[in-house]
């Protein structure tokens, strides 16, 4: 009898920039309900791994919150969040929304912005927001998107402690599976079910969070 591979699995995955290999080959799979923290020092390969995951899984409804956030500076917060569902609507509805947003969409997006503490910014162009506000807009966009798995690169790096916790809580309440690249080890251990430590492009640690302490992860840095 053969066992089917999990849907969200990488086998012998690599990332190369030109002739230089920065990641892998590595194998990794996620079980339903898993929230995986990717940790490791700057340059270890976390973003490269998330890019490989998105490359493999975007057709399976993976939602990406990239490190550079990918917001359009001269569009409003509303329209940036709306982009989370652009591909679910016909072109004419998206065009209409650019000039005349629909009441139902406004209500739904307003509720998300309220949850994230920036409801008053709904019609502000993203280029006029602070770094932490922009990060919350990118979080609102993936919350609105409601994909099957969340891939997020440093999703709370610009937020203070309580804000960071509330954004992570919102993300994990919406997504039943996630991979979050994180610099804050306490947050990673507290909120994620599993920690994968990347060192020089390969997996150096892979264990349930409840079995680890921050001291166990220090050798990665």
Ligand X SMILES: Nc1ncnc2c1ncn2[C@@H]1O[C@H](COP(=O)(O)OP(=O)(O)OP(=O)(O)O)[C@@H](O)[C@H]1O
Q: Which residues bind ligand X (CB under 6 A)?
A: 17, 22, 40, 42-48, 67
Instruction: Choose between 146 and 157: whose C-beta lies nearer to ligand X.
Output: 157
**Residue (81 or 181) nearer to ligand X, CB:** 181
Q: Is the dihedral of CA 115, 142, 33, 22 positive or negative?
A: negative
Nearer to ligand X, 42 or 211 (CB): 42
Taking the complex as a whole, how short is the minimal distance between the CB of residue 48 and ligand X, in angstroms? 3
CB 8 within 8 A of CB 60: yes
Q: In angstroms, what is the minimal distance from the CB of 121 to ligand X?
A: 26
Q: For ligand X, which is the closer residue by CB, 76 or 201?
A: 201
Q: State the nearest-atom distance from the C-beta of 69 to ligand X, in Å.
A: 13
Q: Which position has the token pair 């979050």?
A: 180
Three-state DSSP state, 138: helix
CA distances from 125 to 66, 78, 87, 131 (A): 19, 9, 22, 13
Q: Which lies closer to ligand X via its Cβ, residue 38 or residue 212?
A: 38
Q: How far is the CB of 6 from ligand X (least distance, A)?
A: 23
What's the rounded Cα separation, in Å, for the pair 95 and 13? 38
Pick between residue 14 and residue 75 the one whose CB is nearest to ligand X: 14
- Measured N-to-C along each axis, helices 103-115 and 131-145 cross at an angle, to the nearest 10 degrees, of 130
Q: At what angle do helices 161-174 and 131-145 cross, to 10 degrees?
A: 10
Q: How far is the CB of 82 from ligand X (least distance, A)?
A: 28
List the structure tokens of 67: 């490190």
Mode of pairing for the β-strands spanning 62-65 and 149-153: parallel
Least gap, CB of 178 to ligand X (angstroms): 17
């Amino acid at each position: 009898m053969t066992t089917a591979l999990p849907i969200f699995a990488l086998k012998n995955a690599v990332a190369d920039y030109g002739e230089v290999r920065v990641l892998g080959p590595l194998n990794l799979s996620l079980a339903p309900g898993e929230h995986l923290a990717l940790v490791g020092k700057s340059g270890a390969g976390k973003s490269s791994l998330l890019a490989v995951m998105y490359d493999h899984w975007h057709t399976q409804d993976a939602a990406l919150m990239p490190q550079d956030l990918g917001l359009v500076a001269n569009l409003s917060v509303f329209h940036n969040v709306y982009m989370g569902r652009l591909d679910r609507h016909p072109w004419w509805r998206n065009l209409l929304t650019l000039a005349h947003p629909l009441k139902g969409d406004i209500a739904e997006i307003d509720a998300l912005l309220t949850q994230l503490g920036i409801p008053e910014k709904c019609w502000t162009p993203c280029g006029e927001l602070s770094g932490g506000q922009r990060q919350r807009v990118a979080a609102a966009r993936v919350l609105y998107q409601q994909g099957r798995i969340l891939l997020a690169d440093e999703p709370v790096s610009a937020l203070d402690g309580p804000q960071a916790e509330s954004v992570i809580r919102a993300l994990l309440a919406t997504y039943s599976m996630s991979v979050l690249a994180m610099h804050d080890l306490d947050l990673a251990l507290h909120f994620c079910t599993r920690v994968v430590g990347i060192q020089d492009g390969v997996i150096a640690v892979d264990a349930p969070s409840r079995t680890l302490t921050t001291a166990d992860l220090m050798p990665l840095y």
